[in-house]
Amino acid sequence: MQGFTHWVRRDRQERAEGGVAVCFKEGMQAQLLNVDTPLLMEVMYFRVMLADRSDLLLCDLYRPPRQGPDSLLYLNEALDNLMMAHSCSHVLIVRDLNHHLEREAYENLLEVQGLTDHVTFPTHERGGTLDLVISDYQEDRLQCHQLGLVFSSDHHAVLTQLEVGVAWDEATTRTIWL
């Protein structure tokens, strides 16, 4: 896509479809974090530098259904560790957590981490809310909007608008002598 970086992908290993992918506007300072994750979770973590030079931890996560609460307990611990290790001031988690199957563990994650789910509308064609946008930002700084179904998926796209400046790579003039 013009004006955006190439896709950073973590493809599903056991079949041709699925996985998680992220792209950023060109010039944004985002670093993919190398993190060991449970085999069944499809997740990527990024550190995104903001304009005030603080960092945002971005988690793009697909949690397959029927895993039990362990994967949400893992996420709770991973957020603490990654935010501390990478000095991140804020966290943003996006994608499909299949949280409706583990309501208690999900509510615990939100409470312990001080997070808010910003999606207030159905994201599945049958009416459920599966795709989440969770953050520690106040509701007035982050808005989500339902878009149409994505290709052959039964999920609606979620447009997320976060009012926060990001740090951009600055253009530098260099002379190269050959």
Place of tokens 């999606």: 119
Place of tokens 């699925």: 18
Identify the band that residue 6 occupies on the pLDDT scale cut at 50, 70 and 90. confident
Q: What pLDDT digit, counting tens, does each position of 110-154 carry?
A: 999 999 998 887 777 777 766 788 999 988 888 888 777 777 676
Is 79 a residue whose pLDDT tops 90?
Answer: yes
Identify the band that residue 173 occupies on the pLDDT scale cut at 50, 70 and 90. low
Q: Are 96 and 130 in contact (CB under 8 A)?
A: yes
Q: What pLDDT digit, counting tens, does each position of 38-58 carry?
A: 777 888 999 999 888 899 999
Pairing of strands 131-135, 88-96: antiparallel
Q: Which of 106, 48, 115, 37 is nearest to 78 (CA)?
A: 37
> Residue 60 forms beta bridges with which residues?
44, 94
3-class DSSP assignment, residue 170: coil
Q: What is the pLDDT of residue 57?
A: 96
Identify the band that residue 24 occupies on the pLDDT scale cut at 50, 70 and 90. confident
Please compute the mean of the pLDDT values over residues 88-107 and round it to a whole number. 86
Q: What is the pLDDT of residue 172?
A: 57
Report the CATH fold assignment for 8-162. Answer: Deoxyribonuclease I; Chain A (3.60.10)
Domain spans of the chain, in order of start: 8-162
The residue type at 156: H
